[in-house]
Amino acid sequence: MGEKTAVSFISPGSMDSHKVLVLNQSFEPLNICSARRAVVLLIAGKAERVEDSPRIIYSPSVALIIPSVIRLHRYIHWPGAHIVAFTKKNILKRDGFMCQYCGRNGEERMTIDHVIPRSLGGKTIWENVVSACLPCNLKKGNKTLTEAGMRLLRKPTRPISIFYLSILAHSSHFSLAWSKYIPRGMGLSPPSGSISH
Ligand SMILES: [Zn+2]
């Protein structure tokens, strides 16, 4: 329980919306699963609790602290370096479905913006495309960041593995407890003002 966050009670029905970081037996980050799946792994004796979240499942028959991080008892061989397909969906996942200019969230209305516009020779590559909401995309138009007077929330990079992509897609669930187990180097950090488990 590293974080000083107020304890909250949740119903068993909302367990799927809470995410848990799964570590390999070697303590390397492996996956992200729902709180429900994590509790099943704990009860089955296949994993152990590493960090608790400040959330407690509460019903007349059960009161259980939801983990934030669990560790598998068995080592899973994981190649970890799959090439991530360059698709709109994966760009949105990388950016946590968040407009990289204003921070607005939402999968459906998000567009892809070229940081250096194509008309100025900007390429369609991981390092030059970001998720942008429609108003920001229109505001930026065919201008550079300086010309548009806009800034990026974070520098776009190529996701190094499917795992990192899934971490980034769940960045709204990112917690300080997770960050202890995730290597630096992907610009990964808890989104400011929205740290949660
Ligand atoms: Zn925006």
Measured in angstroms, how far is the CA atom of residue 103 from the centroid of ligand 1?
Answer: 6
If you measure from the C-alpha of residue 60 to the centroid of ligand 1, how many angstroms do you get, rounded to a whole number?
44
Residue 195 pLDDT greater than 50, yes or no: no
Q: Calculate how far, in angstroms, residue 96's C-alpha sits from the geometric centre of ligand 1.
A: 13
Report pLDDT for 28. Answer: 83
Q: Which residues pair with residue 62 across a beta bridge?
A: 59
Percent of the chain clearing pLDDT 70 (strictly above):
87
Q: What is the spatial distance between Cα 78 and Cα 24, in angstroms, rounded to a whole number?
A: 9
Q: Is residue 100 within 8 Å of residue 130, measured between CB atoms?
A: yes
User: Ligand 1: distance of its center to the CA of 32 in Å?
Assistant: 27
Domains and CATH numbers, the chain: 8-78 (no CATH), 88-148 (1.10.30.50)
Identify the residue whose tokens are 């400011």. 192
Query: How far is 17 from 173, CA to CA, in rounded Å?
Result: 10
CA 166 to ligand 1 center in whole angstroms: 22
pLDDT, tens digit (0-9, with 9 covering 90-100), for 97-150: 999 999 998 877 899 999 999 999 999 999 999 999 999 999 999 999 999 999
Give the other-Cβ count within 10 Å of 11's Cβ: 9
Is the pLDDT reported for residue 22 higher than 50? yes
User: Separation of 172 CA from ligand 1 center, angstroms?
Assistant: 16
What's the CA-to-centroid distance between 12 and ligand 1, angstroms? Answer: 35
pLDDT per residue as tens digits for the range 61-80 = 888 999 999 999 998 876 55
User: How far does the centroid of ligand 1 lie from the alpha carbon of residue 148, in Å?
Assistant: 13
Q: Separation of 114 CA from ligand 1 center, angstroms?
A: 14
Instruction: Using the mean position of ligand 1's atoms as its centre, give its distance from the Cα of residue 119 in Å.
Output: 21
Tell me: the pLDDT tens digits for 38-65?
Answer: 999 999 999 999 999 999 988 888 889 9
Report how far ligand 1's centroid is from the alpha carbon of 95 (Å): 12
pLDDT of the residue at 183? 67
Instruction: Identify the three-state secondary structure at position 93.
Output: helix
Give pLDDT, residue 82. Answer: 61
Which pLDDT does position 192 carry in this prediction? 40
* Look-up of token digits 């980034």: 168
pLDDT-derived band of residue 5, with 50, 70 and 90 as boundaries?
low
Mean pLDDT for the chain? 84
Name the token pair of 10.
Answer: 């949740």
Rounded to 10 degrees, the C-alpha dihedral 36/41/47/48 comes to 50
19-23, strands of its sheet edge to edge: 8-10, 47-59, 62-72, 19-23, 29-34
Asked if residue 196 has pLDDT above 60, the reply is: no
Structure tokens at 55: 């959330």
Q: How many CB atoms lie within 10 A of CB 135?
A: 13
DSSP H or E segment with residue 157: none
